[in-house]
Each structure stands twice: as C-alpha cells, then as structure tokens.
C-alpha cells in the first residue's frame, strides 16, 4: 500500500483562514451532521455487521453534566492506573459493541492508561443508516460540550488526585468530536487522533489548541475530501499547530471491522501509527 505522510514543520506567512468544504461559517459538528441531508452520504455507510464481545475489560458508568442531565461512558481502568486518560469518541452509530471492543483493545495496548469511551447519544445506538443519520442530526453541540466537560469532572473527582493528561481519538462523527474535546481540554491535552472526521475550520479557535494532531485521511472519501483536509492543513499551519496527515487509498469508515467495506491492510497500519502516536504522548 502506498502511504503519504505530511508533517507540518514550516511556517506560512500571509495565509488567511481557509474554511473547509461543507464547514464554512458553522461549527464543525453541525457541518458534519448536515451531511446526513445528502442521501449519497447516508447510503455510503453500510450497516454494521454485529460484533460479539468477549471478556469485557471495562464497565459502564454514569456521571452528571452541567446541563442537569446524567451522561454515560464505558471506562477501562488498568491495575496500575495513573493520571493519563484516553477519551474515545464513537461513530454516528453510537456507543455500540464495536466501540466498546476498540476501547478494550486500546486499553490493552496502552497498558497503564485509563480509556473512557463516551456516549454522545445518551444511550441510543443505531442499527440502520437512517437511524444513525437521525441520531447525529438530533444531537446538539451544547450537549456534546457538556458531556466532554463532564468527563473531565468525572476524572478529576473520581480517578486521579493529580492533574490529568488527556488524549483523544474518534472515527467519522467522533473524529470531529475528538478535536473538539482537545480544544476544550486545552493545556491538559497531549494528543488528538482524527479518523476521517470533520475538522475545525475556525483558525482563531484552532489557535487555542495545545496538542499535536494526527489525521487519518481516506483518499476515496467524497465528503471528508482532499479539499477539506487541505483546508485544515492550511489553517493548522496558520495557527502554528502541529499536524501529521496519513493518507490511505481507502474509503470513508475503512478502519471499522464491522463495516462490510473494511480495509484490513489500511486499518492495521493506521491503528499502529495511531497507537504509536498516543503511546508517545501518554508515557
């Protein structure tokens, strides 16, 4: 497989903020949710193959949020837990068994890192692409931010007496939320991984980012396209932030093994790169 890696190591001058395709003038999560209005985007997502879970390593927990509601998350706590945390963001399907399985795998590979897979849908899991589109469009930006901040309070109240360090990872819809969480956690953030998610297009907001970003780009993706990723790269450079982009000759959602269009070779390579990036940031 041919792979291209771009590392931002130079400074551009005289570059203005570039709005990503589909993302201009609106929040990134709303821009991505708006794609669900396109029947071609909805049909692009094959309905997931059921995943059989074995020997779950974590447990579901609930925690309060500032809007007066309780939120949910799947937490995998290692025996030698410290103050390092990986926050996992699900695809538009919701916190399903595939994401729980991924949380278990990430916890096993990162060893002494607590992994928290958040439920952005408050218990709803979609089995069909139509239900997933509806759930994504029904979710509000405000609720997502409340959940992200609630996770931070959960960590500081229950899991560590030290200042925590957060890394984030997400796929599809969750890829965009991975970046939003890194922006919310500010100086507590150590790394952000985005798999084919809608990036932030506001350069002023990106200027608040305190961690490097690894972006996994599927070259056949017609929505998180080359223009979208190129715009994100220019905005990150303009903001003076570190970005690494991995390109794969694959389509949207290629890294999900419950996706009938799963690309095993690309998925394994992207996972290895992501794991190395996260491990370095959290150890």
SS (H, E, C) 4-72: EEEECCCCCCCCCCCCCCCCCCCCHHHHHHHHHHCHHHHHHCCCCCCCCCCCCCCEEEEEECCCCCEEE
Please check whether residue 232 lies inside any domain of the structure.
Answer: yes
> Which pLDDT does position 25 carry in this prediction?
52
Q: Which domain holds residue 162?
A: 4-45+57-282
Edge to edge, the sheet with strand 189-195 lists: 4-7, 243-248, 213-218, 189-195, 165-171, 84-89, 114-119, 70-76, 59-64
User: Largest Cα–Cα distance in the chain?
Assistant: 54
Report residue 236 as tokens. Answer: 């990150």
Please check whether residue 52 lies inside any domain of the structure.
Answer: no
- The enclosing domain of 186 has a CATH number of 3.40.50.1820
Q: What is the DSSP letter of 83?
A: S
Number of structural domains the chain divides into: 1
Mean pLDDT by 10 residues, the chain (283 residues): 38 33 64 92 88 92 98 96 96 97 97 97 96 96 98 97 97 98 98 97 93 98 96 95 98 92 96 98 95
Report residue 90 as tokens. Answer: 């699900």
Please check whether residue 50 lies inside any domain of the structure.
Answer: no
Q: Which residues of 39-56 are buried (b: 16+ CB within 10 A; e: fewer)?
A: eebbebbeebeebeeeee
> Which pLDDT does position 27 carry in this prediction?
82
> Which pLDDT does position 3 carry in this prediction?
45
> Which pLDDT does position 52 carry in this prediction?
86
Whole-angstrom distance, CA of residue 60 vs CA of residue 54: 15
Whole-angstrom distance, CA of residue 122 vs CA of residue 242: 33
> Which pLDDT does position 53 carry in this prediction?
87
Please check whether residue 51 lies inside any domain of the structure.
Answer: no
> Which pLDDT does position 203 carry in this prediction?
86
> Which pLDDT does position 168 carry in this prediction?
98
pLDDT in tens, 206-233: 999 999 999 999 999 999 999 999 999 9
> Which pLDDT does position 63 carry in this prediction?
98
| CA 137 to mean position of chain CA atoms | 17
């Amino acid at each position: 497989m041919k792979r291209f890696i771009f590392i931002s190591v130079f400074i551009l001058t005289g570059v203005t903020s570039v709005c990503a395709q589909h993302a201009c003038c609106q929040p990134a999560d709303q821009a991505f949710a708006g794609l669900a209005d396109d029947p071609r985007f909805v049909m692009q997502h094959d309905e997931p193959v059921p995943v059989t879970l074995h020997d779950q390593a974590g447990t579901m927990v609930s925690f309060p949020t500032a809007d007066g509601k309780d939120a949910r998350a799947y937490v995998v706590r290692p025996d030698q837990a410290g103050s390092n945390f990986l926050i996992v963001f699900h695809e538009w399907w919701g916190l399903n068994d595939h994401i729980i399985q991924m949380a278990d795998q990430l916890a096993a590979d990162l060893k002494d890192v607590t992994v928290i897979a958040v439920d952005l849908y408050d218990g709803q899991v979609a089995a069909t692409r139509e239900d997933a589109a509806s759930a994504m469009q029904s979710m509000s930006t405000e609720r997502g931010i409340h959940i992200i901040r609630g996770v931070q309070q959960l960590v500081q109240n229950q899991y560590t007496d030290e200042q925590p360090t957060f890394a984030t990872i997400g796929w599809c819809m969750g890829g965009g939320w991975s970046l939003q969480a890194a922006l919310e956690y500010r100086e507590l953030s150590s790394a952000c991984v985005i798999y084919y998610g809608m990036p932030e297009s506001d350069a002023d907001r990106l200027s608040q980012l305190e961690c490097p970003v690894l972006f996994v780009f599927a070259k056949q993706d017609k929505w998180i396209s080359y223009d979208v990723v190129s715009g994100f790269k220019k905005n990150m450079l303009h903001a003076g932030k570190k970005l690494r982009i991995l390109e794969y000759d694959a389509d949207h959602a290629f890294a999900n093994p419950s996706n009938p269009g799963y690309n095993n070779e690309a998925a394994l390579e992207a996972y290895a790169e992501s794991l190395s990036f996260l491990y370095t940031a959290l150890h």
